[in-house]
Amino acid sequence: MNRGRLVLGTVQIGLDYGVANQRGRVPVDEARAILRLARENGIDCLDTAAGYGESEATLGSLGMEGWKVVTKLRGAPEIDDVAAWVREETAESLRRLRLQSVHAVLVHRADQMLGSKGEAIYAALKTLQEEGRIGSVGVSIYGPEDLDSLMPRFGFEIVQSPFSLLDRRIASSGWLDRCRERGIAVHGRSAFLQGALLMTHHERARRFSRWSPLWDRYESWLAESGLAPLQACLGFALAEERLDGVVVGVDSLAQFAQLVETAKTTGPTEYPDLSTTDLELINPARWKNE
């Protein structure tokens, strides 16, 4: 299994994030050790965002030279000079990261590109690309319907999309193939559904109980296959060769070490069809606190 396709997600370095996260933010010294282990295992791409709390600043303090850093632009406020805002926001991200340029900048709010600011945001990012500050211009999406609306209007070069055992929409919609045909890189995220796929029935919050039949099928298959949840989820994402990267976030060095070892040993497996299009489950933004 190609560990080089793993992209280290860094939201937990900047925020207390994820339904399975019991520790809060990753301490700086532990973040340094995680980056060291990533380097040692051929992982050279990091995913962050201006909206991930202290993530960019922490990464910058640890030294980002030689890393492929993908960051994301916050949603634009109600202002007239959108181009100036994009330039300043990007400059601030570069300052926090202590870099002269980044591998890619993604628009974090895909829906905003369809409003009155979309053309100006895209044009400003392309100008920064021409100046050598940005390698690729891309977008982070919630589902393939975003690409239905965006791709006829914008020439994005990288897309970050949900992709997991439960959420296969980017593939079933045909967009994974179309992106590959057009030379657009696709990074899959949420392979563990914020950790929900790594939990047992008893560990999951009450909000998830309405999907008990799906969880039962998932856990029965795990028992039959002899796979641990981490092996199943990571193996499924890495087995999708049309993905250029698989973004994985971690809460600790021990967890990351386990993930790296799992990526080394995960082999071909027959995966059951556990896909669903129920956004109340596969879109964490819709989860209600219960």
246 DSSP β-pair partners: 6, 188
Look over the chain and give the mean of its residue pLDDT values, rounded to a whole number: 92
* Banded pLDDT at 178 (limits 50, 70, 90): very high
Rg (alpha carbons) of the chain, rounded to whole number? 19
Q: pLDDT per residue over 36-59, tens digit each?
A: 999 999 999 999 999 999 999 999
**How many angstroms separate the CA atoms of 57 and 55, rounded?**
6
Rounded mean pLDDT of 196-204?
A: 90
Give the tens place of pLDDT for each residue, 240-288. 999 999 999 988 999 999 999 999 887 778 899 999 999 999 999 888 7
What domains sit in the chain, N to C, each tagged with a CATH number? 3-286 (3.20.20.100)
At residue 82, the pLDDT reads: 93
114-144 residue pLDDT tens: 888 999 999 999 999 999 999 999 999 999 9
- 8 A C-beta contact, residue 284 and residue 194: yes
**Predicted pLDDT of residue 289:** 56
- Predicted local confidence at residue 271, as pLDDT: 93
What local confidence, expressed as pLDDT, does residue 127 receive?
Answer: 98
Kindly give, in sequence order, each residue whose CB lies less than 8 Å from that of residue 78, ignoring residues fewer than 6 positions away.
none
Residue 210 has pLDDT above 70, yes or no: yes
Beta strands per DSSP E along the chain = 6-9, 45-47, 68-73, 102-107, 134-140, 158-162, 185-189, 245-249
Token digits of residue 34: 């995680």
Model pLDDT, residue 230: 94
